[in-house]
Amino acid sequence: HQTIPVGIINLGTSENKLCFDLLQKRLMRPDMLQIEPAFLQYPDWKGHSFLREEVAKFLSHYCCSPKPLKPKNVVVMNGCGSLFSALAATLCDPEDAILIPSPFYGVITEDVGLYSSVKLHHVPLYSQVPTGSDVRPFQLTVEKLENSLKEAKKEGLNIKALILLNPHNPLGEVYSSEEMISFLEFAKMHKLHVIVDEIYMLSVFNETDTFHSVLSLDGFPDPQRTHIMWGVSKDFAMAGMRVGMVYSENRDLVQALDQLGCFHGVPGPTQYQMAQLLRDRDWLNSEFLPENRRRLREAHSFMTEELKKQDIPFLHRSAGFFIWADLSKYLREKTFAEELSLWRCFLKHKVLLSCGQAFSCVSPGWFRIIFTDQLHKLKLGLSIAHFHFSSCILVVSPMEWDKM
Amino acid sequence: HQTIPVGIINLGTSENKLCFDLLQKRLMRPDMLQIEPAFLQYPDWKGHSFLREEVAKFLSHYCCSPKPLKPKNVVVMNGCGSLFSALAATLCDPEDAILIPSPFYGVITEDVGLYSSVKLHHVPLYSQVPTGSDVRPFQLTVEKLENSLKEAKKEGLNIKALILLNPHNPLGEVYSSEEMISFLEFAKMHKLHVIVDEIYMLSVFNETDTFHSVLSLDGFPDPQRTHIMWGVSKDFAMAGMRVGMVYSENRDLVQALDQLGCFHGVPGPTQYQMAQLLRDRDWLNSEFLPENRRRLREAHSFMTEELKKQDIPFLHRSAGFFIWADLSKYLREKTFAEELSLWRCFLKHKVLLSCGQAFSCVSPGWFRIIFTDQLHKLKLGLSIAHFHFSSCILVVSPMEWDKM
């Protein structure tokens, strides 16, 4: 055990740690240090107008919207968790529910539940697909949405909205425009609000998966009920900056979010810095975005090669910071109790992963593995995991792992 | 009307606009521009440990605590509104209620209500005092707390906590240690949590009102139920920075706030800047604090002289950014409808004030007048107000004002 470090190798938290050098250099340029009276005074709770203007321009450009997006439709808050909380509070009453395809980034359950007492109703997606079909594992379809909605209504749930993650966390799935339109049409038919979380939109690192923002569509089926989220946490690798935004044409929603905005304010100087960053197209297009994609591709490639060496099946996608991998061959039984034991075994040996049940996956054994860290850490994490796979997993019972 | 500007003279929002020059100079020093990996990553939701350490040291010193305060008891959030919201959510169930002496800074009603559905139950304080008694106008006493608590119980309300503002907004009242201990003893007897909001503690500008923090006491009557709030919005004149903090020895509370902290995060770089500011005792003690107090004193003095010239009665206190003034002589009838008309008349003429009913004052005609702005704005605001007092208020009915 002498090579195992004191800290935990965190392959569980979805952060991009590959670009700190680029970000530090940019964020420490003197243009970032600016203080104006408005920055120190109570702001417009939807965000300062200078920032909302930059967000509208930025999204118009990078989402390829057919018409310029309007600053008045932008609301800025301290992170997308805050936005989920505020959207749940405004779109739903307590105990109402929101449809969400599972597996999904599990923290959303707390985001909508802790303050707003809103529930999530899962639309289960399955790893198994009929032999010979062209259905993808975990593929979302309108039929599945329809079935889950019916089932929810049978249970007496009041479904108010649908959450779609694109690119999807943890699947890495990128929806085609046709798929997305079909989901939006489904929502329109049932008068559901749709929250489309596009927080990984600039983290698609191979051309095999081309991202199409909902904002690139020539009009939405139901614009008053379509709300798009983005933020700097993932695509700009700044989860600690706490800046998220929603784009919505619904004036009532914008006004309601304004009311809740006093709990989710972003500091004036931070708003200024984010505006500087969004408008710096030179840096974005020549430095940050291509280099970030290159590093994402490289780290992803390393991790997938390692998984192949171990004969671990995984979804081959090229978006996000994670690989959705099937470790079920290491379970003694295909149960969630066994999955939890495997998760705990990793943690005891200082490797943190996210297990499928934390994301409400319906098949046990799937794990989300973050690959966006320095190679030496990934290597160390994997070698620890591998050591335990080969030496103990097949001979030690779950209860004995817990004592390790 | 040619001298009236396009914008509104805002004597309604409690901001200190007197020290921007000092703050800009300090916040734009190169030591403020620092980016470290931890600042861009998900933080400890209670605040980075380096900031919580500085907060503990800062409060230990400026609150004159008998023993050093502990960093682990500090929770940092993006403003005290967020803290009120999170404290209400953790200390209460929906529809529970919190006692608060009125008049009080009215936004607290939304702070505890919007997300957490917690109600405030007012402890009414009165302007009138028995002739010859040594009772102060609007004085809070344990007897009044007892009566309100009884009344609340009769109404079937479940009272969980008491909010005390010290220095008080809008009264400018500063409680003596003896008074504060008696309120804390009352709360202990009834097992109520106490939230002591000391956000104006460094904005006491005359020695006539000496501030004693609850943290200066040699132990609280009920430490597990005593929670102290402070922030940089008022004392550091940075409402736009969105940084507030609570100090509590209650581990369960700290843990619960940690859970809600993901909605109220402060950007890493901002946390760093705040730590730099809190530890810069040279700047605080030699520059900012004495000069800020001097400017507060000067602006307060100007405003009180003006009020005296107009024979407007007011509470003479020397804490906070406001004067609580009795404009009831300008009401045709002593009603809240008339108070609202007077408020609207000011606003039509581009002067924003806060009226007593927004703070749940029980006697009509009281207004909170902010004095912490540049003299020329105060003068302009007052001259507009005065012009309308002398020329129209006594001859025009409220309904006619509205048409102006």
Residue with tokens 């309300």: B157
For domain A30-283, say whether CATH 1.10.540.10 is its number: no
- Residues 6 or more apart whose CB falls under 8 angstroms from that of B259 comprise A110, A114, B45
Give the integer Cα–Cα distance in Å for B142 and A163.
51
Beta strands in A70-220 (DSSP E): 74-77, 97-102, 119-124, 159-165, 193-197
CA of B179 to nearest chain A CA: how many angstroms apart? 32
Give the integer Cα–Cα distance in Å for B242 and A268.
8
Q: Which amino acid is residue A152, in one-letter code? A: A
Give the integer Cα–Cα distance in Å for B273 and B292.
20
Q: Does B241 touch chain A (CB under 8 A)?
A: yes
DSSP 3-state of A177: helix
Nearest to B106 by CA among B127, B87, B84: B84
pLDDT tens-digit profile of A225-242? 999 999 999 999 999 999
Contacts of B15 in chain A (CB under 8 A): 41-42
Comma-separated ranges of CATH 3.40.640.10 domains in chain A:
30-283
B78 and A265 within 8 Å at the Cβ level: the answer is yes
CB atoms within 10 A of CB A389: 19
Give the integer Cα–Cα distance in Å for B320 and B140.
18
**What local confidence, expressed as pLDDT, does residue A390 receive?**
58
Highest CATH level, class, for B9-21+289-392: alpha beta
How would you classify residue B216: left for phi > 0, otherwise alpha for psi between -120 and 50, otherwise beta? alpha
Q: Which amino acid is residue A32, in one-letter code? A: M
Give the CA angle between residues B259, B213, B14 to the nearest 5°: 75
Chosen from B13, B78, B235 to mutate, greatest number of chain A CBs within 10 A: B78
Q: How many CB pairs under 8 A join A and B?
A: 152
- Residues 6 or more apart whose CB falls under 8 angstroms from that of A255 comprise none
Q: Does A313 touch chain B (CB under 8 A)?
A: no
DSSP 3-state of A311: coil
**What local confidence, expressed as pLDDT, does residue A64 receive?**
98
How would you classify residue B262: left for phi > 0, otherwise alpha for psi between -120 and 50, otherwise beta? alpha
Q: Report, at the CATH architecture level, how domain A9-21+285-403 is classified.
A: Alpha-Beta Complex (3.90)
Give the CA angle between residues A45, A47, A193 to the nearest 5°: 80
DSSP 3-state of A384: helix
Comma-separated ranges of CATH 3.90.1150.10 domains in chain B:
9-21+289-392
CA of A217 to nearest chain B CA: how many angstroms apart? 31
Q: Nearest residue on chain B to A259, judged by CA atoms?
A: B114
- Regarding predicted confidence, which is higher, A400 or A250? A250
Q: Are strands A351-352 and A226-231 parallel, antiparallel or unpaired?
A: unpaired
Give the CA angle between residues B396, B398, B400 to the nearest 5°: 60
CA of A393 to nearest chain B CA: how many angstroms apart? 32
Q: Which amino acid is residue A350, in one-letter code? A: K
Q: Does A268 touch chain B (CB under 8 A)?
A: yes
Helix B375-388 to helix B336-348 angle (10° resolution) is 120
Highest CATH level, class, for B31-283: alpha beta
**What local confidence, expressed as pLDDT, does residue B389 receive?**
62
Residue with tokens 């702070």: B111
**What local confidence, expressed as pLDDT, does residue B222 receive?**
98
- Identity of the residue in A15, A27, A262 whose CB atom sits nearest the CB atom of B35: A27
Q: Does A133 touch chain B (CB under 8 A)?
A: no
Give the integer Cα–Cα distance in Å for A49 and A53.
6
Give the integer Cα–Cα distance in Å for A39 and A268.
4
Q: Does B289 touch chain A (CB under 8 A)?
A: no
Sequential pLDDT tens for chain B (404 residues): 344 455 788 999 999 999 999 999 999 999 999 999 999 999 999 999 999 999 999 999 999 999 999 999 999 999 999 999 999 999 999 999 999 999 999 999 999 999 999 999 999 999 988 888 888 999 999 999 999 999 999 999 999 999 999 999 999 999 999 999 999 999 999 999 999 999 999 999 998 889 999 999 999 999 999 999 999 999 999 999 999 999 999 999 999 999 999 999 999 999 999 999 999 999 999 999 999 999 999 999 999 999 999 899 999 999 999 999 999 999 999 999 999 999 998 888 888 999 999 999 999 999 999 999 988 888 887 777 776 665 544 433 444 434 43
Residue B235, exposed/middle/buried by CB under 10 A (0-12, 13-18, 19+)? buried
